[in-house]
């Protein structure tokens, strides 16, 4: 296969939603259709719920939420599909925002009963800012939920999208009979016991055919005809160009838990979703079909395998071909690195790959060279943009609960902070360590992982801080005065940059007025 064909057959996308909308279940069912797994995790055996394939951290299994982004790949109809399953929980939004820099398109999952929820709004806004093509999947149709047209209105109004349904439900909840696939012109009947089986479809392009009554009943047939007439009158026909530009979003209905509507989604997706797209670097726009390799780190994960203290840097390949054992330039450190065992992923299963192409995600074993946002190239100086970082909203002192394990604790904190789970600040006054996070749940995750992966125990103490601001200033009298007066609120971040921990909005405002030459920023320059 030629280099161009390899690029053309790749589809790299993320799945985003509010927690509990069924995102991880949908990911798993896509793998089931792709033949990548033989059995769905939701199948109960001996009353023990097997965990979803993509949730592989112990704390995720216990809480039933996705904490880290997992990367999964499979082949379907000769297309190489890379899925990035993101956390839905708002406390892990930062990980999701970073992941969105590595995808070429997105599937948004919405719960039929709850409709559009807050977290979905935020994530879709990020996709709209970047013009990422989106497909909407309305899930859990076998449960009682909102009317299909009301849901479509809600998606348009709350998410600011311009939708066009490519499938439409026949009934809902207890009356749910199946789905009419507008894209392929066929009917998919719901039997309700198909958690592991894949449904049969009936080709049906003429809805005026009286045979429809025999298949779904008279009432449902009349309702379907009326609804589809309304769809045709109200919504624009599907336009692939508009979808790829991010100005039109196709909508599918289904029930991921029951394998229903998932094949329709996948079949349409591989036809319309974009192959790897160009990406903007600070220096220029990089095309995927350029022969020179380039890629960027969008995630770092410590202890993928707790038996070995390994860190994996997840690299999205933007251009050229990545080859094993070939030296590449680490742009920030200006040094060449070679990778003897680059990994491709299937949830926690990894395999060593000899070559990877644009759109693929490779995992590189890392001994501490990488930070999120780093670029690897064949030698060209490139810096990819748009890896966001936020000023934390929660702050706590971290204390060592076991003096015998001080070394393990500091090593654990050091590695977890490199993952971007949270940010570490060291107070200038007394050297105490402060952890800042975007969401409170991250403290639990850090505590759990320190104990189970590093054998270190920690406790927390609250610290009343309103915002962390990175300080930029000329070395002058005003700056020295600022440092003297505010010394108990000053800290250094992990990169050694000076940070002001303002205890209230009022104090922040007063500081800005009193020391106008001292600039306070809410993002650290290196991560912007």
List pLDDT tens digits, range 7-24: 899 998 888 887 777 777
Domain count within the chain = 3
For residues 267 and 284, state if they share a domain: no
Decide if 383 is inside a domain.
no
Asked if residue 47 has pLDDT above 70, the reply is: no
In angstroms, the CA 347 to CA 351 distance is 11
Confidence of residue 67 (pLDDT cuts 50, 70, 90): very low
Collect all residues with Cβ–Cβ distance below 8 Å to 195 and sequence separation of at least 6.
Answer: 40, 42, 43, 257, 258, 259
Rounded average pLDDT over 288-315: 76
Q: In the prediction, which pLDDT does 293 show?
A: 92
Q: In the prediction, which pLDDT does 96 show?
A: 67
Decide if 233 is inside a domain.
yes
Work out whether strand 178-181 and strand 167-170 pair parallel, antiparallel, or are unpaired. Answer: antiparallel
For residues 143 and 202, state if they share a domain: yes
Q: In the prediction, which pLDDT does 302 show?
A: 63
Rounded average pLDDT over 344-371: 79
Q: In the prediction, which pLDDT does 51 show?
A: 42
Identify the residue with better confidence: 384 or 200. 384
The listed range with the strongest mean pLDDT (55-59, 365-369, 449-453) is 449-453
Of 229, 250, 272, the residue that ends a domain is: 272
Decide if 386 is inside a domain.
no
Decide if 385 is inside a domain.
no
Confidence of residue 251 (pLDDT cuts 50, 70, 90): very high
Q: In the prediction, which pLDDT does 107 show?
A: 92
Q: In the prediction, which pLDDT does 199 show?
A: 52
Q: In the prediction, which pLDDT does 99 show?
A: 76
Q: In the prediction, which pLDDT does 69 show?
A: 46
Lowest mean per-residue pLDDT among 36-40, 291-295, 464-468: 36-40
Instruction: Report yes or no: 33 and 194 within 8 Å, Cβ to Cβ.
Output: no
Tokens of 376: 């690897």
Of 231, 247, 272, the residue that ends a domain is: 272
The listed range with the strongest mean pLDDT (114-118, 207-211, 265-269, 412-416) is 265-269
For residues 287 and 242, state if they share a domain: no
Q: In the prediction, which pLDDT does 239 show?
A: 92
CATH of the domain at 211: 3.40.50.300
pLDDT tens string 422-470? 889 999 888 999 998 877 777 888 888 888 888 899 999 988 898 888 8
For residues 85 and 211, state if they share a domain: yes
What b/e sequence results for 91-113 when a residue is b if at least 16 CB atoms lie within 10 Å of its CB, and e otherwise?
bbbbbbbbbbbbbbbbbbbbbbe
Mean per-residue pLDDT over the chain, rounded: 80
Rounded average pLDDT over 50-69: 46
Partners of residue 80 on adjacent β-strands: 10, 75
Rounded average pLDDT over 134-141: 90
Decide if 389 is inside a domain.
no
Q: In the prediction, which pLDDT does 26 show?
A: 85
Decide if 238 is inside a domain.
yes
The listed range with the strongest mean pLDDT (99-108, 113-122, 434-443) is 99-108
Of 335, 351, 377, the residue that ends a domain is: 377
Decide if 221 is inside a domain.
yes
For residues 94 and 224, state if they share a domain: yes
For residues 102 and 146, state if they share a domain: yes
CATH of the domain at 308: 2.40.30.10
Tokens of 308: 């070995």
Decide if 86 is inside a domain.
yes
In angstroms, the CA 290 to CA 297 distance is 19
Q: In the prediction, which pLDDT does 307 show?
A: 54
User: Which domain covers residue 502, as residue numbers?
Assistant: 394-527
Phi and psi angles of residue 243, each rounded to the nearest 5 degrees, phi first: -60, -45
For residues 288 and 318, state if they share a domain: yes
pLDDT tens string 186-226? 777 776 554 444 455 666 666 677 777 777 778 888 888 88
CATH of the domain at 480: 3.30.70.3280
pTM of the model: 0.73
Q: How far is CA 149 from CA 165, 228, 237, 370, 411, in A?
A: 10, 11, 16, 48, 53
For residues 160 and 254, state if they share a domain: yes
In angstroms, the CA 362 to CA 239 distance is 33
Choose among 28, 329, 432, 400: nearest CA to 195. Answer: 28
Asked if residue 65 has pLDDT above 60, the reply is: no
For residues 312 and 261, state if they share a domain: no
Say whether 139 sits in a helix, a strand or coil. Answer: strand
For residues 263 and 286, state if they share a domain: no
For residues 90 and 191, state if they share a domain: yes
Residue 516 DSSP label: T
For residues 337 and 427, state if they share a domain: no
Identify the residue with better confidence: 235 or 172. 235
Q: In the prediction, which pLDDT does 425 show?
A: 92
Asked if residue 241 has pLDDT above 90, the reply is: yes
Confidence of residue 326 (pLDDT cuts 50, 70, 90): very high
């Amino acid at each position: 296969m030629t280099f161009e064909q390899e690029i053309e057959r790749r589809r790299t996308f993320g799945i985003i939603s509010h927690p509990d909308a069924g995102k991880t279940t949908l990911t798993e069912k896509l793998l089931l259709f792709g033949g990548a797994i033989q059995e769905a995790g939701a199948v109960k055996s001996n009353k023990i719920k097997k965990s979803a394939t993509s949730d592989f951290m112990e704390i995720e299994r216990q809480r039933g939420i996705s904490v880290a982004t997992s990367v999964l790949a499979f082949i379907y109809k000769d297309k190489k599909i890379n899925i990035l399953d993101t956390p839905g929980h708002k406390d892990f939004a930062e990980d999701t925002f970073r992941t969105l820099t590595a995808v070429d398109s997105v599937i948004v999952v919405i719960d039929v009963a709850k409709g559009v929820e807050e977290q979905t709004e935020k994530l879709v806004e990020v996709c709209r800012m970047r013009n990422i093509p989106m497909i909407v999947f309305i899930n859990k149709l076998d449960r009682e939920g909102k009317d299909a047209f009301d849901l479509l209105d809600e998606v348009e109004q709350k998410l600011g999208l311009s939708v066009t349904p490519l499938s439409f439900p026949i009934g809902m909840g207890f009356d749910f009979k199946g789905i009419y696939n507008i894209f392929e012109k066929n009917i998919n009947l719901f039997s309700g016991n198909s958690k592991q089986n894949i449904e049969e479809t009936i080709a049906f392009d003429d809805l005026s055919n009286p045979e429809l009554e025999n298949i779904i009943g008279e009432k449902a047939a009349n309702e379907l005809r009326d609804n589809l007439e309304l769809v045709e009158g109200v919504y624009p026909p599907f336009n692939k160009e508009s979808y790829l530009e991010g100005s039109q979003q196709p909508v599918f209905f289904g029930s991921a838990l029951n394998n229903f509507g998932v094949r329709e989604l996948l079949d349409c997706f591989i036809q319309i979703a974009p192959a790897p797209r160009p990406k903007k670097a600070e220096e220029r726009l990089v095309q995927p079909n350029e022969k020179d390799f380039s890629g960027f780190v969008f995630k770092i994960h410590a202890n993928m395998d707790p038996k070995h203290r390994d860190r994996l840097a997840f690299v999205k390949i933007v251009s050229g071909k990545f080859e094993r054992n070939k030296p590449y330039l680490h742009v920030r450190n200006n040094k060449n690195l070679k990778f003897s065992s680059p990994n491709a992923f299937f949830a926690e299963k990894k395999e060593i790959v000899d070559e990877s192409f644009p759109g693929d995600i490779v995992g590189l074993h890392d001994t501490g060279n990488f930070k999120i946002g780093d670029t690897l190239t064949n030698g060209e100086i490139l810096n990819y943009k748009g890896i966001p970082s936020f000023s934390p909203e929660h702050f706590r002192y971290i204390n060592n609960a076991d003096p015998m394990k001080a070394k393990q604790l500091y090593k654990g904190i050091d590695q977890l902070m490199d993952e971007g789970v949270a940010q570490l600040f060291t107070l200038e006054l007394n050297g105490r360590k402060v952890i800042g996070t975007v969401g409170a749940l991250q403290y639990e995750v850090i505590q759990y992982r320190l104990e189970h992966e590093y054998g270190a125990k920690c406790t927390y103490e609250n610290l009343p801080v309103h915002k962390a601001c990175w300080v930029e200033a000329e070395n002058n009298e005003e700056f020295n005065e600022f440092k003297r007066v505010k010394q108990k609120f000053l800290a250094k971040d992990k990169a050694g940059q000076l940070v002001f921990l303002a205890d209230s909005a009022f104090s922040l405002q007063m500081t800005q007025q009193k020391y106008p030459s001292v600039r306070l920023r809410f993002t650290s320059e290196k991560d912007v």
